[in-house]
């Protein structure tokens, strides 16, 4: 039950999934520590150290039932979390307590566990990233041919299509996916390296047998499901690894922020709206409001992730010699919270994509208001083909455009540029001919084709290859 008298982590209570919260839970952390201790004992036994099956079986039997109260009491005395859990584990395993953590230093369980948890968290992020890509791909194909105003400098520009704009968001996610795959493939464990990374304690255990010490490192790596360990380390794995992982989360946040901010602008223009439920309240004072609260929340979470990315960069650059401890408190906060925020961010992204409302008439209306200006170049070229003087006609178009613009901006009236041109015989067009030139599809170039080609060649192969990994649940946002 929640204790309302103390602060609770909002990332867990409001935003992230239970799956992501579990990855960074005490249960997952400490059971992984114990699995690493079992793996170490098994590997050392296999390489000839006097460790019995009975001792290993005792350790295995107590992986899950962690005695947290005993560990907390030991930590009060020792002021050392790893030592406290060694003593607590030994209390449950009296026959094996003498061989727990044999030859290792704290980072053996701490750092290897951190990499394992980051791997699991990245895999969950990958699943949800693929879910966003699937939904966005469907949306882009559906609206590949729907013309819409494009904007440069936030000013109306040559039209694009709704689907082509979605393809830009999708391409960002595809880049993130490739970066994430690379980060996953390049994860390495610390392995078994000792207090300063020299493996001196293990050399002593194995009477100077380097081959056995090297094999011990490789056995642990294989048992924990990784392809390799860092070949050289200090006491810790290089903190640059944390920064590589955080850079992926930052990249996902950048992409999600771009989408969400564009969506907020589109909702401002009433062209595309995020889901809005029947009982939802947009404002406590203004009952008519339909605020883009999901997209705004996405931007807030994304900004938080972007700020956390600095932490791992600072930590990687400031580690002294073989290790210092100024990384510990920071990493306990920044890495889990970045993953929790990224998880919540992608849940929101999927929820928004799954319920986007596209208002085609508003989109067409906005196009009609601006198309006369955008059609002037085509009108000019066609008029010159019919024998007109380019320079004279260009000047007239400039003047008429200014007049039409003033009519819209100063008088609040409709754009009458086409009427002005039609009344001028030097252009040689009827109003009907001019309106044919104003079909929006004439101005979108290869937008629809680009969208379909990009998705067919670059996105669908990724989605097909990873369909079993793709998050496909319908997302409900409770708060």
Tens of pLDDT, residues 141-176: 999 999 999 999 999 989 999 999 999 999 999 999
Q: State yes or no: pLDDT of 4 exceeds 60.
A: yes
Measure the CA–CA gap between 193 and 322, rounded to whole angstroms: 12
Q: State yes or no: pLDDT of 181 exceeds 90.
A: yes
- Token code pair at residue 461: 């192969």
Q: State yes or no: pLDDT of 396 exceeds 60.
A: yes
pLDDT for position 277: 62
pLDDT for position 408: 87
Average pLDDT of the segment spanning 281-298? 71
Catalytic residue among 52, 186, 283, 414: 283
What's the Cα-to-Cα distance from 292 to each of 260, 282, 283, rounded to whole Å? Answer: 9, 8, 11
Distance of CA 388 to the CA centre of its chain: 55
Average pLDDT of the segment spanning 16-44? 98
Give the pLDDT band of residue 436 (cuts 50, 70, 90).
Answer: confident
pLDDT for position 122: 98
pLDDT for position 375: 84
pLDDT for position 374: 82
For the chain, the average pLDDT equals 93
Q: Which of 60-64, 87-91, 231-235, 281-285 has the lowest mean pLDDT?
A: 281-285
Q: State yes or no: pLDDT of 416 exceeds 60.
A: yes
Higher pLDDT, 224 or 426: 224
Average pLDDT of the segment spanning 463-476? 91
Q: State yes or no: pLDDT of 192 exceeds 90.
A: yes
Average pLDDT of the segment spanning 105-131? 98
- Token code pair at residue 168: 């830009």
Protein fold of 376-437: Ribonucleotide Reductase Protein R1; domain 1 (1.10.40)
Are 133 and 462 in contact by the 8 Å Cβ rule? The answer is: yes
Measure the CA–CA gap between 282 and 290, rounded to whole angstroms: 5
- Token code pair at residue 383: 């008029």
Give the pLDDT band of residue 454 (cuts 50, 70, 90).
Answer: very high
Q: State yes or no: pLDDT of 127 exceeds 50.
A: yes
Q: State yes or no: pLDDT of 476 exceeds 50.
A: yes
Measure the CA–CA gap between 271 and 260, rounded to whole angstroms: 14
pLDDT for position 284: 45
Measure the CA–CA gap between 325 and 235, rounded to whole angstroms: 11
Catalytic residue among 2, 4, 153, 457: 153
Q: State yes or no: pLDDT of 225 exceeds 60.
A: yes
Percentage of the chain exceeding pLDDT 90? 81
Q: State yes or no: pLDDT of 288 exceeds 80.
A: no
Predicted confidence (pLDDT) per residue in 228-272, tens digit = 999 999 999 999 999 999 999 999 999 999 999 999 999 999 999
Please choose, from the candidates 168, 177, 110, 108, the residue with its C-alpha nearest in 3D space to the C-alpha of residue 143. 168
Q: Is 458 a catalytic residue?
A: no
Please choose, from the candidates 269, 250, 249, the residue with its C-alpha nearest in 3D space to the C-alpha of residue 165. 269
Are 223 and 39 in contact by the 8 Å Cβ rule? The answer is: yes
pTM metric for this prediction? 0.92
Architecture of domain 106-362+458-469: Up-down Bundle (1.20)
Q: How many CA atoms lie within 13 A of 266 on its CB side?
A: 23
pLDDT for position 274: 95
What are the extents of the domains in the chain?
15-99, 106-362+458-469, 376-437
pLDDT for position 437: 81
Q: Is 153 a catalytic residue?
A: yes
Q: State yes or no: pLDDT of 373 exceeds 70.
A: yes
Give the pLDDT band of residue 448 (cuts 50, 70, 90).
Answer: very high
pLDDT for position 438: 83
Q: Which of 47-61, 130-144, 225-239, 380-394 has the lowest mean pLDDT?
A: 380-394
Q: Which of 63-77, 86-100, 405-419, 456-470 has the lowest mean pLDDT?
A: 405-419
Average pLDDT of the segment spanning 176-181? 98
Q: State yes or no: pLDDT of 109 exceeds 60.
A: yes
Percentage of the chain exceeding pLDDT 70? 96
CATH of 15-99, one of 3.90.1150.10, 3.40.50.720, 1.10.275.10, 1.10.3720.10: 1.10.275.10
Give the pLDDT band of residue 2 (cuts 50, 70, 90).
Answer: low
């Amino acid at each position: 039950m929640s204790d309302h008298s103390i602060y609770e982590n909002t990332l867990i209570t409001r935003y992230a999934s239970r799956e992501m919260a579990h990855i960074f839970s005490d249960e997952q952390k400490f059971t992984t520590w114990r699995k690493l201790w079992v793996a170490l004992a098994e590997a050392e036994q296999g390489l000839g150290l006097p460790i019995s099956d009975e001792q290993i079986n005792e350790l295995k039997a107590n992986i899950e039932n962690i005695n947290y109260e005993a560990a907390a009491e030991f930590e009060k005395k020792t002021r050392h979390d790893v030592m406290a859990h060694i003593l607590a584990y030994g209390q449950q395993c009296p026959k094996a307590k003498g061989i727990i953590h044999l030859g290792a230093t704290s980072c053996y369980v701490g750092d290897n566990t951190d990499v394992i948890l980051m791997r699991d968290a990245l895999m969950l992020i990958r699943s949800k990233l693929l879910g966003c890509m699937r939904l966005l791909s469907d949306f882009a194909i559906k609206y590949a041919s729907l013309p819409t105003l494009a904007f440069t400098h936030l000013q109306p520009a040559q039209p694009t299509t709704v689907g082509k704009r979605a393809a830009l968001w999708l391409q960002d996610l595809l880049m993130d996916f490739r970066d994430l795959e690379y980060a996953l493939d390049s994860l390495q464990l610390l392995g078994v390296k000792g207090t300063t990374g020299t493996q001196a304690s293990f050399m002593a255990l194995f009477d100077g047998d380097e081959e056995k010490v090297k094999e011990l490192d490789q056995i642990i790596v294989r048992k924990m499901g990784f392809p390799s360990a860092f070949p050289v380390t200090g006491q810790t794995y290089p903190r640059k690894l944390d920064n590589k992982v955080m850079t992926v989360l930052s990249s996902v946040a950048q992409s999600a922020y771009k989408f969400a901010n564009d969506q907020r602008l589109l909702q401002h223009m009433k062209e595309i709206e995020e889901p809005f439920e029947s009982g939802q309240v947009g404002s406590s004072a203004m009952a008519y409001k339909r605020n883009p609260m999901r997209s705004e929340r996405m931007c807030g979470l994304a900004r938080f992730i972007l700020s956390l990315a600095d932490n791992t960069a600072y930590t990687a650059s400031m580690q002294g010699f073989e290790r210092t401890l100024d990384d510990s408190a920071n990493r306990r906060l920044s890495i889990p919270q970045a993953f929790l925020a990224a998880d919540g961010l992608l849940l929101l992204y999927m929820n928004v994509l799954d319920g986007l409302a596209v208002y085609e008439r508003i989109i067409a209306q906005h196009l009609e208001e601006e198309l006369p200006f955008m059609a002037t170049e085509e009108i000019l070229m066609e008029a010159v083909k019919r024998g007109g003087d380019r320079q004279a006609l260009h000047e007239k178009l400039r003047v008429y455009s200014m007049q039409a613009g003033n009519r819209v901006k100063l008088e609040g009236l409709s754009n009458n540029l086409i009427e002005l041109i039609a009344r001028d015989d030097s252009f040689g067009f009827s109003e009907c001919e001019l309106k044919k030139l104003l079909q929006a599809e004439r101005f979108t170039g290869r937008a629809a084709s680009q969208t379909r080609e990009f998705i067919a060649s670059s996105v669908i192969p990724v989605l097909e290859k990873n369909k079993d990994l793709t998050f496909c649940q319908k997302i409900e946002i409770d708060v």
